[in-house]
Amino acid sequence: MRVLLCDSAGICHGQSVLPPGPVDAILGKNVTLKVLKKTEATDDIVWNFSDGTNLNIVARLKAGRVLVADPYKGRATLNATNGFLTLTSLTAKDSGDYSITILGEVRDAAGEVRLRVLEPVSGVIITANVTEAKEGSTVSLNCSAQGSFLEFLWTNGSSPIVVDGVRITQTTVSGTFSNRLIIKDVYRSDSSNPIFCTARNGLQSEKSRPVTLTVFYGPDVVIINPAKPPEFIKSKEDFNLTCSAASKPDAVLTWYYNNQQIKNSGAVLTLKTIEEQGLGKTAGDYKCNAMNSKTTTARNSSAVTFSVIEPLSGAQMTGPKLSLFAGNSTANLSCQVSAGKVTETVWLRNNEPLSASPRVVFSSDMSSVAINPVQKDDNGNFVCKLKNPVSEEQAEYKMVVFYGPEEAAIKGVKEVDLEGTVLLNCSASSVPLSDFTWKLNGTAVSEKSNVLTINKPKFEDSGTYTCEARNPVTGKVVTFTHVLSVKGELIIASVL
């Protein structure tokens, strides 16, 4: 339902007489203000113009005759059939409110619409108080343009900049065709895309050239990787520390060892650099400092701690050069490496731990051991295992202790039948092995080994066998006896 408001003179005012405004037209072009209400041939029509101060007649239709006011002659026409008003060669002064009054035989009507004569949009330019800013500072961007009835839209890349009235505000500069965008506490993300300003009115728009805002920030948290390196690092190993920190521009990175600056470093601190400068031999703190030349901010990382250990190499054990005799000689063993520092030494004898005793005495640093006197059980392999936190080496020494013979014994049967076989085995513990000789009832037997073999024994093989064991180095001799009885049936041949 349409509602008309009529005044005391009978003139009704309604939005259906003229289209809703404003009506926009381009400077220098033409515009036609249309009438929505159907007019009659008998209607009188009056078009008026108001610039907000004065009300002037533009044209009127009375008794079928069109009259145009002097200021509009040659530029304004009123269509007698439909009441349309056309203005040509528009100027900025044509902007304002246009009203129509229709006087009919039955009822009168009136309407009003605003005309905006738009100057073409051009010359859209952004100027900034700074193009480089620290994060957290304030940036002011001013967008100026030529045109009329302008609106301004700011975008970051293709996304509209959201004006929240707190961090980001937008104002029109009084008395100018310009708009100001103020960004407080500027973020690094504000520089992610170029910034554009678009100036527009109802008919045209134009986008500025982009302005790239550089926001300097950081350094943020300074991080060393690995954050927890091993407590001990092997010398000359392929080991590095890396330092990183979010920063624009890139931060200058400097390394420190126990607050002493490490020369020629950078984002990567190599073990080679550490060792070339004679550092790391003792446990110490390594830190990375990040410095931003634009924000003038510097930050330190948390410290990482380790020490550089040279691996062991060239392990060697030395021992006595003279002959050793059980119960009468002393052996000194020494274990050394050609490179690296030993932190732990373990001694083994024949794969068993060698323990200290009144006879076995270790030096305070465990690098040597004295055995006085040596005994037969000291024969065999001595091993020293040398360790430090990053490596392990070992060396061996074979010790020979002369002793014996001792514990001589003969194993074999005591009785044997004729035609049997006898094996007598003589044993004696000795280093070196003993030389053996055999005797039967005091008479030497040709056998020289420790085993005496008698095939098909005879009665005369019965008797006392003596084994003599002699150590060719110590000269010691031991003997042991064994009684053998040969049994069998004695057959006596008769003589006829």
The CA distance from 404 to 473, in Å, is 9
How far, in whole angstroms, is CA 172 from its chain's centroid? 48
248-304 pLDDT, tens per residue?
999 999 999 999 999 977 899 999 999 999 999 999 999 999 999 999 999 999 999
The CA distance from 336 to 368, in Å, is 9
- What string of DSSP letters covers 27-80? TTS-EEE---SPP-TT-EEEEEEE-SS-EEEEEEEETTEEEE-GGGTTTEEE-T
91-140 pLDDT, tens per residue?
999 999 999 999 988 789 999 999 999 888 999 999 999 999 999 999 99
Strand 304-309 relative to strand 232-234, pairing = parallel
Query: Residue 493 pLDDT > 70, yes or no?
Result: no
Q: Which residues contact 403 (CB under 8 A, 6 or more apart)?
A: 325, 326, 327, 375, 376, 429, 430, 431, 471, 474
Tokens of 298: 């510097």
Nearest to 114 by CA among 161, 53, 49, 68: 49
Containing H/E element for 273? helix 271-276
345-386 pLDDT, tens per residue?
999 999 999 999 999 999 999 999 999 999 999 999 999 999
173-200 pLDDT, tens per residue?
766 668 999 999 999 998 889 999 999 9
Per the CB < 8 A criterion, the answer to whether 100 and 55 are in contact is no
Q: What angle do CA 243, 247, 252 make, to 5 degrees?
A: 55
The DSSP code for 248 is B
Average pLDDT (57-67) is 94
Query: Residue 429 pLDDT > 80, yes or no?
Result: yes
Domains of the chain: 5-118 (2.60.40.10), 122-216 (2.60.40.10), 224-309 (2.60.40.10), 316-399 (2.60.40.10), 404-487 (2.60.40.10)
Tokens of 125: 């330019």
The CA distance from 165 to 324, in Å, is 100
Containing H/E element for 388? strand 380-388
- Is residue 8 very low, low, confident or very high in pLDDT (cuts 50, 70, 90)? very low
28-46 pLDDT, tens per residue?
999 999 999 988 888 999 9
- What string of DSSP letters covers 435-482? EEEEEETTEEES--SSEEEEES--GGG-EEEEEEEE-TTT--EEEEEE
Other C-beta atoms closer than 10 Å to the C-beta of 60 total 17
Q: What is the largest CA-CA distance in the chain?
A: 203
Per the CB < 8 A criterion, the answer to whether 97 and 5 are in contact is no
Tokens of 1: 């339902």
Beta bridge pairs of residue 96: 115
Q: What angle do CA 426, 427, 428 make, to 5 degrees?
A: 135
Other C-beta atoms closer than 10 Å to the C-beta of 125 total 15
- What string of DSSP letters covers 345-381? EEEEETTEE----SSEEE-TTSSEEEESS--GGG-EE
Per the CB < 8 A criterion, the answer to whether 154 and 195 are in contact is yes
Strand 85-87 relative to strand 76-78, pairing = antiparallel
The CA distance from 26 to 203, in Å, is 8
The CA distance from 384 to 344, in Å, is 10
The CA distance from 279 to 272, in Å, is 10
Query: Residue 76 pLDDT > 50, yes or no?
Result: yes
399-428 pLDDT, tens per residue?
999 999 988 899 999 988 887 889 999 999
- Secondary-structure percent of the chain, ordered helix, strand, coil, rounded to 5: 5, 50, 45
The CA distance from 58 to 70, in Å, is 8
Nearest to 371 by CA among 319, 322, 316, 321: 319
- Which pLDDT does position 1 carry in this prediction? 30
